[in-house]
Structure 1
Amino acid sequence: MDTSVILPEECISHIISFTSPGDACRSAVVTPLFKSAAYSDAVWERFLPSDYQQIISSSVSSSVSSTLTSLSKKDLYFHLCHNPILINNGTLSFSLEKGSGKKCYMVGARALNVVWGDTAIYWIWPSIPESRFSEVAELNFVWWLDVRGRIDAKNLSPNTTYAAYLVYKFSKPNHGFETRPVELSVQLEGSGAAERRRVFLDPPENMPQLYRARGDGWMEIAMGEFFNEHGDDGTVLSSLFDFHQFTTRRGLIVEGIEFRPKMVNR
């Protein structure tokens, strides 16, 4: 029996809104009526985060905010999947995970706690065209590497396992990262001991390559993961750390630390 003969478009839209973005797109090929129902604002409003309007209104660009609010809800959804917007005075970026509509954030370098970051002989803050942020952190010379990021769990999607990723690259010349690992950690505040891992950011060819090229000119490496159960569980803390009084490092460029749902291919 053809349900489109029995059910009005509004009912079909309501049913589709309880599925997923992928299911909505697939249902659009069934009939013209299903296409109209599946692409309706009523469906895609359900796939967007409940606070999406507040997030968009906090964009650092009023023209971007105005453009986004004029889009259909479906176009807005996919725009946010592919085009992160800058918020929080340009130190934080927001986007959506395409398959689920869950929130992704990158904490830009200027919002990270970089030890000795205000001392030019150790760190500089250039602007480079491949970064979404106005400044990145570039390492000149240190023995003690300590970079920390934090984000409130309430900003992330609840009931979701997230992973944190260090987003970085190297200038030339660089030194120290191929001979000694760094320590990466992630911890949901109050959840017990932090998950820690020792990895090479620039491993020799005979070692496993744990980093991944992102396709946007940067590399990323997983720092750890956590389960954001209720979305009101305090603060997520992440860190990049190493100290060795006889080993210096230089040439690391940090764009930020990204928090996104685990096992997402980009």
Structure 2
Amino acid sequence: MYNREKIKSFPMDFFRLLPEGCVSDILFFTSPKDAAISSAVSRGFNSATESDLLWGKFLPDDYEDISSRYVSPRICSSKKELYFSLCDSPVLMDGGKLSFSLDKKTGKKCFMISARELAISWGVDTPWHWEWIAHPQSRFSEVAHLHTVCWLDIRGTIGSQMLSKRSKYVVYLVFKLAEEHYGLDIAYASVRFVNSVSDKEAEERASILSLVGENINYMTCPQKRVDGWMEMELGNFINDIGDDGDVEARFMEIKHLDGKGRLIVQGIEFRPE
């Protein structure tokens, strides 16, 4: 396995003598991040680090299938530009129900399921519980705005075959708290492979968390994102070769039937660690 330190140990002229395809193959065994900065190590890398050959290898194997599902095409002048565009600016797919992006360091796939595609108890045709509104900071056309419920239960499901193989994924609820929010100091979360872990078993193993960010040792608390939203970790899992069926992430508070309200949900994100 090549890395940046090993690359530095080679004579500089060595890489200038190699065909561009060979240099691209060498860089492919580093990482997208190292490939992007390797031109500073040797001028022999300059051409290869700009080539479509290299950056095409860093794109997911199923990228053509994914891109065929975009709401609008992503037009770029090179595959390097395309790669970093997908890292910095998620693209909507499947009619705006899902967003897709790449992890900048690894090139692994990230997906966010829109609130409209989540299974939300009392979320359909009950505007006195949940209201669907536009939000200027959301990547999706609608977000879910909780007015009040006693039974809070939100689930998001994705097929493991869509995710990057042999990768650890962390799942996040992406949300905001409206003014005068209430009943969200304690909640529970679980992540499971639907085919191998029962709903009851996942509930019993659910972790405790707090959306209001109280500093309590045994609870998971939210973090602020660069896009202005908050995210709460719901759990993690290992995606081996993508043949484990659906993965379900669940956020809930169904133990204490007190009122809960003023939560804004953008979606649930599956992101490589």
1:35-74 → structure 2 map (5 Å cutoff):
35-61=46-72, 65=73, 67-68=74-75, 70-74=76-80
1:108 has 2:114 as partner: yes
Residue equivalent to 1:25: 36
One-letter code of the match for 1:259? Answer: F
- Alignment of 1:196 with 2:192, yes or no, is no
14-23 or 189-198: which moved more? 189-198
Aligned to 1:136: 143
Unmatched runs of 5 consecutive residues or more in structure 2: 1-10
- What SS is found at the alignment partner of 1:125? strand
Say which is worse superposed, 79-88 or 187-196, in terms of deviation: 187-196
Q: Which stretch shifts more, 32-41 or 74-83?
A: 32-41
Q: TM-score, normalised by structure 1?
A: 0.90
Asked if 1:149 is matched to 2:156, the reply is yes
Aligned to 2:170: 163
Residue aligning to 2:45 = 34
Tell me the residue number matched to 2:131: 124
Which AA in structure 2 matches 1:238?
Answer: A
Cα pair 1:24 1:39 within 8 Å, conserved: no
CA distance in structure 1 between the partners assigned to 2:255 and 2:70 by the alignment: 41
Q: TM-score, normalised by structure 2?
A: 0.88
User: CA offsets per residue over residues 104-126 of structure 1, 9 Å max, x none?
Assistant: 00001000001111201100001
After superposing the two structures, state which structure 1 stretch, 101-110 or 169-178, moved more: 169-178
| Partner SS, residue 28 of structure 1 | helix
Question: Does structure 1 residue 85 correspond to structure 2 residue 84?
Answer: no
Letter in 1 for 2:129: Y
Letter in 2 for 1:142: V
Mapped partners of 1:6, 1:147: distance in 2: 57
Aligned residues: 255
3-state DSSP class of the match of 1:154? Answer: helix
The 1:246–1:186 alpha-carbon spacing in structure 2 relative to 1, beyond 3 Å, is closer
Which residue is equivalent to 2:27? 16
Could you tell me how far apart the structure 2 residues matched to 1:6 and 1:15 are? 14
- Give CA-to-partner distance per residue, 1:66-110, whole Å, 9 cap, x none: x43x43111111000010000111010000001000000000100
